[in-house]
Structure 1
Amino acid sequence: MKPYVYGIDIGGTSIKFGLFNRQLQLEKKWEIPTNSSNNGESIFGDIVDSIKMHTPDLSQIEGYGFGVPGPVLKNYVQMCVNLGWKNVDLQDRLRDELKNDHIVVGNDANVAALGEAFLGAAKGRKNVAMLTLGTGVGSGIVVDGRLLEGHNGSAGELGHLTIPQEQPIACNCGKKGCLETVASATGIRNIYHRLNEDFTGHSTLYDNDYVDSKAIFDAAKAGDKLAISVVDEAAYYIGYACHVLSVTTDPSVIVIGGGVSKAGEFLIEKVTNEFHRLVFQPTNDTVIVTAQLGNDAGIYGAAGLVKIRG
């Protein structure tokens, strides 16, 4: 039996690599920028080159697990709008270069949820859901210890749940009003720009050359009224998404991950309050927590895919 497995998390901004031993202990990790030009064609070669640079002997690798930002069905990538991919067979594209047929693929949020269920905030739980709030919004669902993919590989694509709004914003998927447009890092900035149009007071955010989601959360924590109103609205949308997860899959734990989750308990408390205001009472004991593995959840879960789909 070969001693190592790879977990690889392909995101819209970066590609994260983790080399693990058979007990899923992380040996080393690194990342490279994601080059999504030319419909993401360069990504395949970039992945192979980076693996070969860090792994002189590919014969020591049992398999490769991938998390990708889009629906996946039986290892086949249906679509990744942030990468420019459509109908991609990663195993077919990489097996010869990596000299390995054991290449398994899952939706990035599903894979991150699996990582948190294996070794993170939901360790030991069999029914887990996760929302990843980063450049976009993904969600992953683990039911009875297994990933839920669905008929078309789109189970858990809550980032494209339509949220009723007066001024819905266009999403990269082609729809308007997706959760991603109001709950991701970009979505929180969207809320800020809309609310700022009618805001009459002064905000400390005006002192920034560029207002990102971190600046908004920092200002809200310091009592800035505009920032608080932005965070409160975003928390409602995230709480609403948690409510949908609770009545459709009934998880014992909902894990909030991604860059936005770095706001910590300040965000979790607001989301939990919105969730309990909306929740169907039999699912009221669902707990909302911050991810423990951070940006590493995807590589842990991807490595775990190699083991469970061995």
Structure 2
Amino acid sequence: MKKYAFGVDIGGTTVKMGLFETLGTLLDTWEIPTRKQENGRYILPDIADAVDKKMEEKGISRLDVEGIGMGVPGPVSPDGTVLKCVNLGWGVFNVEQEMNRLTGFKVKAGNDANVAALGEMWQGGGKGYKNLVMVTLGTGVGGGVIIDEKILPGAVGAAGEIGHIPMRDDETETCGCGKKGCLEQYASATGIVRLTRRYLEAHKNENVQTMLKEDSTAKDIFDAAKLGDKVALAMVDEVGLLLGKALAAISCVVNPEAFVIGGGMAKAGEILLNVIRKYYTEYAFHAARDTVFKEAELSNNAGIYGGVRLVLE
């Protein structure tokens, strides 16, 4: 094993990059803009250039670099083929081969949520577990499945799309994926805001006692719940119910040792985790009821940690 490796997390606005020792120590992080012009043709060359500049800055020889691991915001097949990244402008091509051509290094790539899950398993909240499911609760709901310390990508890289588990048949609004009734329409930051707005609208003539308003944010709702606001508590309970049921279903398929919960909404802490655990225990198959729930620890660095762990495989 060589001494250094690079982790790369490609986002729609910026590319987060990290220089690591292959034993797991993060030495440096930096970002470059994601240049999406001309169908994202500049993104990989910019990353290659940034790697070269960092090696020059740190005095690192090419002979000491194990490779580059990348998280990509879209489906990535096991052979490194990107199956369209709409928000980058990319079509179908092999990102590993192209990055290898640009750098000469070994390159491994995966879906960004899956790669973040791998990072949490390696050096974060999932450390010590070989089988886990990561759930990211933010603007949407993301996920990643790790089995025997490896990403489970699925046939076309679409495994772990937890946010698009169908939960309700009566939904009238359309999810970003084009379906209706997906988990992330309720169990994300935007989802709990939508649930709250709908509740207040439906009960506006009933003089409901609450500190919440139709423009309340997810943070406002969790803060109100912590103060005992009954409407806020009901909204948190609804989100916990849907997440608990979804994770119970997942556990019947992959039977993880742990669920690692991350993302901005997870900062609400125990008030959310406790209700998820409650409903998970109620709905889980009896043999899987003792699955551990852990908080993610790597925050925005999970993707670059996971990228390095991916290339070390």
TM-score (norm 1): 0.87
Measured against aligned partners, the alpha-carbon deviations of 1:161-220 in whole angstroms (never above 9, x if no partner) come to 1111422431222222222222222222222322231233254343x9x63322222222
- State how 1:45-60 maps to structure 2 within 5 Å: 46-48=46-48, 50-56=50-56, 59=62
Matched, 1:280 2:285: yes
Question: 1:105-254 to 2 correspondence within 5 Å?
Answer: 105-200=109-204, 201-206=208-213, 211-254=216-259
Instruction: Give structure 2 stretches of 5+ with no counterpart.
Output: none
Q: CA deviation at 1:35?
A: 5.7
Correspondence list, 1:79-90, <5 A: 79-90=84-95
Cα RMSD for the two superposed structures: 2.6
CA 1:10–1:191 in 2, change beyond 3 Å: closer, same or farther? farther
Q: Any conservation in 1 of the 2:68–2:308 contact (CA below 8 Å)?
A: yes
| Aligned position for 1:300 | 305
Is the 8 Å Cα contact of residues 8 and 69 (structure 2) preserved in structure 1?
yes
Residue 9 of structure 1: aligned partner? 9
CA contact (8 A) 1:199 1:226 kept: no
User: In the TM superposition, what is the alpha-carbon distance from 1:239 to its structure 2 partner?
Assistant: 1.2
Q: Secondary structure in 1 aligned to 2:15?
A: strand
In structure 1, what is the Cα distance between the partners aligned to 2:149 and 2:139?
Answer: 27
Moved more, 250-259 or 140-149: 140-149
After TM superposition, the score normalised by the length of structure 2 is 0.86
Give, as a single letter, the amino acid of the residue that structure 2 aligns with 1:27.
L
Structure 1 gaps, min length 5 = none
In 1: Cα distance, 2:93 partner to 2:114 partner: 18
DSSP 3-state at the match of 2:134? strand
The 1:65/1:251 distance shift into structure 2, 3 A limit, reads: same
Q: Tell me, in whole angstroms, the C-alpha distance in 2 between the residues paired with 1:161 and 1:227.
A: 24
Match of 1:264?
269
How many positions carry a matched residue from both structures? 305
Distance 1:84 1:216 in 2: 36
The one-letter code matched in structure 1 to 2:211 is T
Quick check: 1:19 aligned with 2:19? yes
Separation (CA, whole Å) in 1 of partners of 2:150 and 2:308: 15
User: Contact 1:257/1:294 (CA < 8 Å) preserved in 2?
Assistant: yes
The separation in 2 between residues aligned to 1:82 and 1:238, in whole angstroms, is 27
Moved more, 286-295 or 55-64: 55-64
Q: Secondary structure at the match of 2:202?
A: coil
- Closer, same or farther: CA 107–235 of 1 in aligned 2, 3 Å: same
Confirm or deny: 8 A CA contact 1:81 1:173 kept in the other structure.
no
Q: Deviations over 1:58-92 (max 9, x none)?
A: 73533111112322112112233544444243234
Report runs of 4+ in structure 1 exceeding 6 Å deviation.
none
| Amino acid corresponding to residue 218 of structure 1 in structure 2 | D
CA contact 1:81–1:172 (8 Å) conserved in 2: no
* Superimposed CA distance per residue, residues 92-111 of structure 1 (whole angstroms, 9 cap, x where no aligned partner): 443344x2341211122221
Which stretch shifts more, 56-65 or 141-150? 56-65
CA distance in 2, matches of 1:125, 1:270: 23
Partner of 1:77: 82
Distance 1:226 1:15 in 2: 39
Which amino acid in the other structure matches residue 244 of structure 1? A
- Between 131-140 and 166-175, the greater mean CA deviation after superposition: 166-175
Query: What residue identity is the alignment partner of 2:179?
Result: K
For the structure 1 residues 123 and 228, does the alpha-carbon distance in structure 2 shift closer, same or farther, using more than 3 Å as the test? same
